[in-house]
């Protein structure tokens, strides 16, 4: 069991290594969520512009 903990310690660089993994994981989760919300907002804007254009005719 101690050998696993020693490997996870990563030569006293564990905070840097695991922090880097954490930030990377957060970015990989957050990016698709932000992309989905931006896409939905742009689609709503396009639909609104299409309705305005249709109403002008």
Question: How confident is the model over 27-56, as pLDDT tens digits?
Answer: 999 999 999 999 999 999 999 999 999 988
Which pLDDT does position 26 carry in this prediction?
98
Q: What is the DSSP letter of 57?
A: -
Q: Report if pTM > 0.75.
A: no
Q: How many whole angstroms separate alpha carbon 43 and alpha carbon 48?
A: 9
Inter-residue contact 10 to 17 (CB < 8 Å): yes
């Amino acid at each position: 069991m101690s050998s696993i903990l020693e490997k996870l310690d990563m030569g006293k660089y564990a905070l840097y290594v695991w922090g880097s993994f954490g930030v990377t994981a957060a970015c990989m989760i957050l990016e698709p969520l932000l992309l989905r919300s931006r896409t939905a907002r742009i689609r709503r804007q396009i639909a609104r512009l299409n309705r305005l254009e249709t109403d002008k005719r």
